Amino acid sequence: MQDLSNYYHFSRDEWQNFHGEKHTQAITDAELLKIKSLDDEISIDDVKVIYAPIRHLLHVYLKNYRKLVKLKNEFINNENKKVPFIIGVSGSVAVGKSTTARLLKIMLERAYPQYVVGQMTTDGFLYPSKVLKKKGLMEKKGFPETYDMPKLIQFLSDVKTNNGPVKYPLYSHNIYDIIPGKYEEVNNPDILIVEGINVLQLPSNANIYVSDFFDFSIFIDAHADDIEEWFLNRFIKLLDMAKDDVNSYYHQFTTISRNDAVQMAKDVWNDINYPNLLNYIEPTRSRANLILHKSSKHQIDTVFLRKY
Ligand SMILES: Nc1ncnc2c1ncn2[C@@H]1O[C@H](COP(=O)(O)OP(=O)(O)O)[C@@H](O)[C@H]1O
Ligand SMILES: CC(C)(COP(=O)(O)O)[C@@H](O)C(=O)NCCC(=O)O
């Protein structure tokens, strides 16, 4: 276990008091229901108890960030240009990064209707399967060397420079590869949420890191046994979705017995995703501003806020 003495530790009960609005509800029941209908997975209780205070904390960081950018521009006699506020979300494969990022996006959009809030994953910066095969890295997908990190850093630098739309490639779980010729665009956002297993890593041959572009970062933490269960559940969902889709990578696993398919997914967890978590993802946890620890069923039981 890493030393987390550099963090304030809060139980769920303690954390829920920090939503910042003394007399009014931080989030209305109608808002909660709308968020819930967009994602049945998230418990309303978590939104109220955990995410409303996070939104308030982000407001503090955002307000300070904007002020600092303005004062810095004044210092160097530059005109005050918008610089996107970037939030990084990290944690294991299948710990719930994209679900959390999606929820944060909705909550921030509601808090700041005047702001453009973007959300993306770093999956698109994995090398395409063709390249991974050539490098003998197909069985290591998700390990640091399977990402084109210089390309990701250039992308984030372009986003911060904010001189027009910036394109990035797209990964599909369905085809288990980068989608050839398909790009998504980040266009002048006020806030960008970037989620990925690799976003807090410090490659030894680099002098600039992905996290240098972050103005706030969150690590989602849980016991490996719980994450394995969530990985297997998601695998089963993907199998169900691929039953009639011959183009899906997962279709091949629908033609063998369910037990054999689940055994294969367990092997993927044990051989790839678990070692990746242990060796390359978990060691980055203590770099995050905020750590959300989940217990079984995805319920967040402890929140760690970095002191300095
Ligand atoms: N708060 C939550 N409550 C219930 N299920 C969740 C929650 N967050 C994520 N999940 C489920 O856990 C699995 C992994 O989540 P996902 O967001 O895809 O993880 P990641 O982006 O880290 O790989 C998915 O099946 C997702 O539906
Ligand atoms: C593409 C990924 C590295 C990204 O992780 P995720 O978005 O699922 O957190 C991962 O989903 C993956 O494909 N890992 C390789 C082994 C596997 O799970 O099939």
For the chain, give the DSSP string. Answer: ----TTEEEEEHHHHGGGGS-SSS-SS-HHHHHHHHHH-TTS-HHHIIIIIHHHHHHHHHHHHHHHHHHHHHHHHTT-------EEEEEEESTTSSHHHHHHHHHHHHHHH-TTS-EEEEEGGGGBPPHHHHHHTT-GGGTTSGGGB-HHHHHHHHHHHHHT-S-EEEEEEETTTTEEEEEEEEEE-S-SEEEEE-TTTT---TT-SS-GGGG-SEEEEEEE-HHHHHHHHHHHHHHHHHHHTT-TTSGGGGGGSS-HHHHHHHHHHHIIIIIHHHIIIIIGGGGGGSSEEEEE-GGG-EEEEEEE--
Residue 272 CA: nearest ligand 2 atom is 16
Q: Is residue 142 marked as binding?
A: no
- Mean pLDDT across the chain, nearest whole number? 92
Rounded average pLDDT over 44-54: 89
272 within ligand 2 shell (Cβ under 6 A): yes
pLDDT at 39 over 90: no
Rounded average pLDDT over 200-225: 93
Write the pLDDT tens digit of every residue in 247-276: 999 999 999 999 999 999 999 999 999 999
Going by alpha carbons, the residue nearest to atom 9 of ligand 1 is 96
Residue 23, pLDDT score = 47
Q: Is residue 98 marked as binding?
A: yes
Q: Say how many Å lie between the CA of residue 292 and the centre of ligand 1.
A: 14
Residue 27, pLDDT score = 65
Domain 7-306 has CATH 3.40.1190.20: no
Rounded average pLDDT over 34-56: 81
